Structure 1
């Protein structure tokens, strides 16, 4: 990348920090497009396997200063298409379709480079097999949706039921959504538009969701 008012005279005219340079490919190139990636400082973590590929417990780290790939600490179990979030020095990794609750989520401490399981303390009916996924990080807490809505308080290391569903949604789509201020908007598998308020801690159906203009939908990033 270069400043808009400057041009490169040839391939060897390098403009310091404003130039594009080649970066070595990861040995696991098939995973780059689909595995969760997390940026921590000058490093990029590539975690597990792709969503439509074989599960993997491998963690690859790209050091952007030296442009080299490093082997990170492997996860306790192989995962495919997991969700990953970085909060205060730790990476939280969750696979929403696991059958065993004990391994559904684990945490990487960046400082010690060690993994530890995140158990379902405080959630006696915690079940992931019906399609769980992380929907938002809000005020340092992790919100998860399933047959009930849960919030994880990382300071207390406990899960709390924030509110059961007001509506019988068949499936709230993980990818089709956006966040405006403190409200998350998402589509369901039956075409409904719903919103989740973090202040009220509950889902409600958006009025007018059945209008013709909403029959086909796309996700847009909102800034404002």
Structure 2
């Protein structure tokens, strides 16, 4: 579905909302990574398109993306949580700075779920359901392409640099030792935690995206596995364990030349 949010819990991938049949959707579809089968999941309480999602403590948190015709109570349900064990969505009360605002992204950071609204960041404590504003550099450096590895939030910026967030000092720091291994720009790069390694996937298209040549477009996917760590001085270091092309059947590359998302599941 177009403009859906995605989350992975265990061996399942959840596709949340999106733009369906000309409107926003509250539908949830679940892909079982073990058997490659789809099933309908419990619908969200609010129709969403372009929402953001994160996983914390085995629960899915989804924020924003409202405004559709069926979202009459969007303020109440602007942030929701889903417990896969009981199959139930619950509304999460949120502050004025988050409610009815465009949420750029959210992620698990430390002991909470972080939500980015424009240049302002908010952090939810899932246990107490309380929020706090960020008083550090996290919102300014976070561009939405991020993931958490060994409890540290990493991101990839528009200048082709990997950065880690130092929670203690509230600052972003560049990941040393990897910049020369990557191109200065990676089209649609996505990041994911795979067995506590930072895995980066990006596409390289051989055409300029012209609609007239859409049927002839091809895309190769590149993948890199990076070991990341933080030293005694609080600096971040990375070591590229593997870098190369990802092989896919021709029919996939020919029919789906655009790369949208990347998630890891346990099989």
The total of aligned residue pairs comes to 181
Match status 1:103 vs 2:77 = yes
**Alignment match, 1:82:** 51
**Alignment match, 2:63:** 94
Alignment check: 8 A CA contact 2:121 2:138 kept? no
Distance change (3 Å), C-alpha of 1:160 and 1:59? same
> Partners in 2 of 1:183 and 1:172 — Cα distance?
9
**Alignment match, 2:42:** 73
> Partners in 2 of 1:223 and 1:192 — Cα distance?
15
Structure 1 gaps, min length 5: 1-30, 207-215
| 1:139 shift after superposition | 3.2
Deviation >6 Å, runs of 4+: 178-181, 191-194
| Higher strand content, 1 or 2 | 2
> Partners in 1 of 2:149 and 2:36 — Cα distance?
36
> Partners in 2 of 1:131 and 1:45 — Cα distance?
19
> Partners in 2 of 1:140 and 1:73 — Cα distance?
27
CA RMSD, aligned part only?
A: 4.3
**Alignment match, 2:226:** 223
**Alignment match, 1:157:** 129
**Alignment match, 2:165:** 197
Distance change (3 Å), C-alpha of 1:156 and 1:71? same
**Alignment match, 1:7:** none
**Alignment match, 1:118:** 92
1:112-154: CA deviation from partner (whole Å, max 9, x where unpaired): 211111111xx454456355421x3133421222343222111
The structure that has the greater radius of gyration is 1
| 1:46 shift after superposition | 2.2
| 1:34 shift after superposition | 5.4
Distance change (3 Å), C-alpha of 1:200 and 1:127? farther
Q: TM-score, with normalisation over the residues of structure 1?
A: 0.59
Structure 2 gaps, min length 5: 69-73, 175-183, 190-199, 201-223, 228-267
Match among 7, 28, 36 for residue 5 of structure 2: 36
> Partners in 2 of 1:130 and 1:70 — Cα distance?
29
**Alignment match, 1:144:** 115
> Partners in 2 of 1:133 and 1:118 — Cα distance?
17
| 1:204 shift after superposition | 5.6
Q: TM-score, with normalisation over the residues of structure 2?
A: 0.51
Structure with more relative contact order (C-alpha pairs < 8 Å, separation 6 or more) = 2
1:190-215: CA deviation from partner (whole Å, max 9, x where unpaired): x7979563423635697xxxxxxxxx
